[in-house]
Each structure stands twice: as C-alpha cells, then as structure tokens.
Structure 1
Amino acid sequence: MSAATGGPALPQERRLVTEIPGPASQARLEQKKAHVADGVGTVLPVFVTAAGGGVLVDVDGNSLIDLGSGIAVTTVGNAAPEVTRRVHEQVDAFTHTCFMVTPYDGYVEVCATLAELTPGDHAKKSALFNSGAEAVENAVKIARVATGRDAVGVFDHGYHGRTNLTMAMTSKNMPYKHGFGPFAGEVYRAPMSYPFRDGLSGAEAAARAVDVLDKQVGADNLACVVVEPIQGEGGFVVPADGFLPAVAEWCRERGVLFVADEIQSGFCRTGDWFACDHEGVVPDLVTTAKGMAGGLPLAGVTGRADLMDSVHVGGLGGTYGGNPVACAAALGAIEEMRTHDLVSRAAAIGDLIGRRLAELRERHPVVGDVRGRGAMQAIELTAPGTIEPDAARAAAVSAYCHRQGVVTLTCGTWGNVFRFLPPLAISDALLEEAFDVVAEAFDATA
C-alpha cells in the first residue's frame, strides 16, 4: 500500500550514505553539547532536515524509516498536505491574539470537533492547552472543583507528564522524577491490569485496584481516577478486557470522575478514534494532545458540559493555549484522518506489525510478550521462560536498528519494551523493510 496521505515529496526509502550518526550530525552534536542543557536527552543523535510519509532525512543525506512518529505525534505523517495548507493560511492571517483576550474561530471549531469525536453522545465542552501534561493537570483541577474532593487515583506504570503534579502521578522514577521532589500531594497509586505479569482477568484486576483505592484513600475522598487506556511510557500495557469498564462503573457508582488519558493512544492510533472506544468506555473527562495537531503543540480536556462548566470564569486558560496556528493544524490533521480513513489504516498497520512481531516471538524466546492495538504495538523482552526484564538486550537491538537506519523507541518501567508507533502515512513496503531490520537486529544480538 502507498502512503496513506498520498504523494509525499520525499523518496520513501531507507538510504544510508554515511554511518549513523554521520559527520554533519556529529558536528552539530558538538553545538548541542555547548548550548543545550545536558538534561535534554536524545534517542538517536541525527539532525533532521526533512520528513514525510514514513521517513526522516538527516543532514548527511541519510533517509531513515520512522517507527516512532516523534512519540505518537506525527500520526498523519510529517508535513501532511492539509496540515501545512491550513497552517500557511493561518500564519498569513495572524499568529496570536490569546483566546482569553480576543477569540477566534479555530479554537471553537477544534472544541466542536472534539465533542463530536470523543467517546459518548452527551453534551460536551473543551478547553485547550499546549501539552499533554497541562491537559492532565487541568483535568485534575476540573475534577476537584466539580466534586469538591481532593484525592487523585492513578495506576502503576502510568505516565502523565513532567509538571510537579503530573510527576507525582507518574510511576517511573528515572528519568522523570529523580531529584525533582517534593511532589504534589493527594495522589494515590493502584495496581494496573498487566496480563503478562499478573495473569488476572479484567474483572479480577479491577477488583484489586478499586480495593486499594477504597481502603487506602476512600471513594468519598477521590475527585478522580486517571488512567491511560493503553499505557504509553509504562510499556504499552494493554489492560485485560473488562478492566476499564469495571473501574469506570465503580467510579460512576461513587461519584468519582473517570478520566481517560488518551494523549498517546488517541486520534486513530489504536484502530479506533480513541482507545476507550474498543470496549465502549465513556469517560467523564478525556485528555488529548500528541497526534491531534500534526506536530504543533496543542492539547485539550474534553468532558461532560456540566463538569467543564463547574470552574469559575478565568479558572482555565493560558497565554498560548489553543494558539490559532496549532488549531489550524489540528483541523487539518483531523481532516486528513477522516479523508484517508486512518482508523482503518491503523488497523491494517496493526495486522502487519502483529504478524511480524509474532514471527519474532516464534524465533526468539527473549520476546516474552507481544501486545498492543492498531499502530500502537510493543514487545517485552525477558529472560526466556520468565518475566525477568532484559533491558540490556532491548538496548542492543535498538542500537543495531539505529545504525541500520530505523528509528526505534524503547519504554517500560524496566526499559525492556520496544514500542512501535509508525506514522499512519507510512507504506506497507517501508514497514516490511523496517521489520526486516528489526529481525536482523535480534539475530545479530542473539
């Protein structure tokens, strides 16, 4: 199949003309070292000059296959035609007024579109922000005002951002939390459904989780429970069927708001518009970002109109939140998703990746688990026959892929999970070639 968004100008091929990183990238790395804080890390130190379809082109002329989408951001592909067209039109008109000072149509149109696309047919409203962490933090603010309660429930292996509150909500210490405390209070952690490691059904895992929340916090004290329907940084953990509906029902019965963090899993990525759609779960509030705006910074909180309206005027907002150029990009990205039926494309990509990962598992016992949905797939590496994480092998395989011109990302609490997040504009041919390289990497590091 050709690229889903059609006709990227860049040749859709893997092409290596230097080592990775090449000399021009290495020279720029010296400049990065001199001027950029060391705390800003880099997965693959090549400097990109162009990107589109399923490839990234670096300053040395290497063309790399992209299996990361800038961590699930360029879902519609880099510089997708409708995104760039709308962005150019908006930049020519104006770049900023601050919606809280003088509003504009794009912000309202994005909110109307979110009301249409997010789960549930109830009346909804939205507020727009810059980043996923801001969206999560504002969802908690809304939940606290709406319920009059303070406590927040989150889950093991969860990732929600890098602000003080969202660091408190995030499970993983290094690199996200280490040395940055003290953190915001009234955040409580429950065990996540993790079928590969706990062997529980969805109902059993939900009962375990809500028992912890009930006993350690008390439902009457909980403003909200925040969960990623498929965990991102935590290792693409897909909860057992029935887990999310059971937790959501428990929340409804006790007046606790159920907040779905769809920042990584939303906008066609899983083969549904949102990961919650897979089991028909309807959250009270949904947080979005990443894939929404084709690479521009935009995030949102969408929820029941009565909840969203519970906050006093002026209590939500931000100078750049819902910037007009980012809103134009979002409207263009969503048009690309609809025009090219990227929900179906993600499902087809999932079938291809699932087949290739199943083949890997057959040949390499280090692959302990294959999981995910649509174009959000992962493999977890463990000592054969155990659940003991093998982060060293994951690092070695990833390094091999990088040297061979394939952008791969690892994740997971123990750093032993590969996550695959290709742009939905990638071709089947490029995907097959990328997973040929992944297979070579496992053979070479065995």
Structure 2
Amino acid sequence: MIRKTHPELGDPAAGNGILSRRVFLEGTLVVGATGAGLSCGSAEPLAVQPWMKVPGPGFAGYGQPSPFESKVVKVFPPPPNPPGVGASRTPLHMLEGMITPSGLHFERSHSGVPEIDPDQHRLVIHGLVKRPLVFTVEALSRYPMQSRIAFIECGGNSLALNAPQAQPLNVAAIHGLLGCSEWTGVRLSTLLDEAGIEPEARWVIAEGADAAAMSRSIPLTKAMDDALLCLYQNGERVRPSNGYPVRLLLPGFEGNMNVKWLRRLKLTAGPAMTKDETSKYTILLKDEKAWQFVFPIEVKSVITRPSPGLALRGPGFYEISGLAWSGNGSIRQVDVSADGGRSWAPAALQGPILPKAPVRFRTAWQWNGGPAVLQSRATDDTGMVQPTRAQFAAERGFRGVYHYNAIASWRIDEMGEASNVYA
C-alpha cells in the first residue's frame, strides 16, 4: 500500500501508473507491502557474518571498486577495426547521480591511446597570433585554474536508433557514448590573450598527439568563451583514454571536437576542412542535403532504470530514473510517460541543475504488472523540446548517424523485462 500525508501525493499524474513528482520533491511518501523491504518478523538479532569475524585487508595505494561490482565495466564489443580504433561505452544503467567515474567514462579513439610522457609533451599556439607560444605541462600547471562539471557526448551516440527496426540492445550499447566529469584546467582564452589574436583570425585548428593526429576546426568565439585546457578529471590527472596529459573541453559541443592529447592550436581565418570534419561528423539529411559545422549537442534524455537487463520483480512501486542534457544550456523540465507518449507527467529534477551538464530525473511509478512503454522527453532553457522519432524523421530522415536526439522507448512486458522499441 501507499500511505501519504498530502491528499494528492501518490495520486496518478499520468496514465499507466505514473505518480506525482511530489513523491520526491516533498519526501513524504511511505512505501509498504511492495517488496521494497523485508519484514523483521520477531526482530531477532542479525546474524554475525563471516566478514565480521576476521580483520579485513589493509590499505591500498589506489582504491578499487568492490569485487561484487565487477560487472560495472565499460562495454566495447570487438569492432571490425584495427586495435584501438573504435569506442568503449559507459554503463549508464549501472550508475547513479550525474558524475561518471573516471574509469567508466566512455572513450573514442581513432588510433589507440598514446603513452605520452608529460615531461616531453608540448602544446603550441601559433598561426594568426602576435606571439607564438610553446607550453610544457608544468608551465600550464602554473596558470590560474577553474573547474566545471560538463558532459561529453560523442556525435554518434544513439546511432543504433537510426536502424529501420529496433535492435535488442541495452542502454550502454545505444546511449553509452556519454560521460560527465568535473573538469579542471586553464581557460583557453587566457592563453590566446597572452599570444595576442590577429584581427583576421576566426577559427582555431586543434590537433591531438595520437597516431591519427585527430584534428578539428573550432570557432574562435567558442575558444574565447568557455573552452578549457583540462589537466584534471574528477580531481585526479586526466586519464590516458580521456586525453592525458592535457585535453580540450568545449562544453556542450560534440565529443570529437573536445580534442584529446592536445598538442597544437593554430589560429586561422577559415576552417581547415580536416578529415574528421568532412568524412565524418557531418549531419546527412533527406534529399541529398547535409549540415556541416553543427556543433552543440541538442536536448536529449534517456531512461536508465528500468531498462534492458534490469528486470522488474513483480508489480508494485518503482522509481523511473534517467539523465537529461543539452549542449545549448540547462535542462528546464523532463516529462515521463508510461503509455508510449499518450500522457505525460513532469519528473523531479535532482540538483544541481547546471548548464551543459546532465541532470538526474526521477519519477514515481506504480506498475500494475501489465505492458508499458516508458519514455522521457526533455526541454532545455532555450525552449528546445526533445523531438519524437516521427518529428526527427520529418526534419532529417535516417541517412545520418550523428546528433540523434529523438525520444527513446523501453517496452516493459508482463514479466517485467525491458526491451528497445520504436513507439
């Protein structure tokens, strides 16, 4: 049963069992007889477990997860590519909150992860500047630093949903090219001001130190706005797979532009038309048209629980939870549906709500044991609303593989199993 101290708390807010978000906002819901807890019976003392009878292991130089959490790992099915070419995916459905642990942050590599000696690494700023500059990592560490929480999402995340038929995939396989960290480093504008920008400069060409020399053209306006040269990720040095010893962070821009292992910044009057912004990362549209240089990630959300592989254990009270994000600003609202979009109710947003950072949303759901189709729909503070699959298809079609942000759907069957569907 559900007992409530407010006459509307726990009442339906949308069809198929979606309850009022005040369950979370006011924190006054009491859940009982739903399988969420076990009866104490006669309140006998707890058993003394084996781990209470002997001392545990001592200290370790670097902490590791519990061995009971060994399944919480990145996913990287063997691709038809050379070693080191491809991506590993964050297990979003196994995580909570908004921050991705550094060791679980997705990675995308075009030629493997280079082993860079930070003492030998150099960063050059040249081109249309008055004073070309060369920085060591130690020199960058002397500049004033700042931190911000920001997501990075690969432009090809969720491309599996472009397939004609819904594939039997889980959250990580479809949406796992997404991660969020607290990034710490030096504002790029500080270094560009020191170099002195020539009046005709409009673009910055960023180049990585990997074997592919992965490069992208970046508008100078973005470089002078909120770009960071990151030395730290979640309080420790950036992981090698995420750009050690220094990576570029362009909050809100597609992941490929956040160049890892950064070695060169060249100011130019126009874009360089590099391999990775011509052969890839161009948004193909219908009627043989395309968009180029579409940088911000559009508003998007995904339900991470319930989801494929996380079965419901019988009818009762559950929490629907997920992440919402936008490269154009902050998330203003997330609505959730349990009937395939026929009715919607606002979810509770868990703070902090930050620009260009994911937000955890939560919805109370009373599952009756019947079929359901779960969806989430995000709105950002620019007024942009996450489109339906039909709306996305009407504007862009399904020729491309980048910037897919349509509403995703999980079908819940009578056994409580979730599967990917188109609705």
Q: Per the shorter chain, which TM-score range?
A: under 0.3
Q: TM-score, normalised by structure 1?
A: 0.26
Higher relative contact order, structure no. (Cα contacts within 8 Å, ≥ 6 residues apart): 1
Q: Which has the higher strand share?
A: 2
- Between Structure 1 and Structure 2, whose CA radius of gyration is higher? 2
Q: Which has the higher helix share?
A: 1
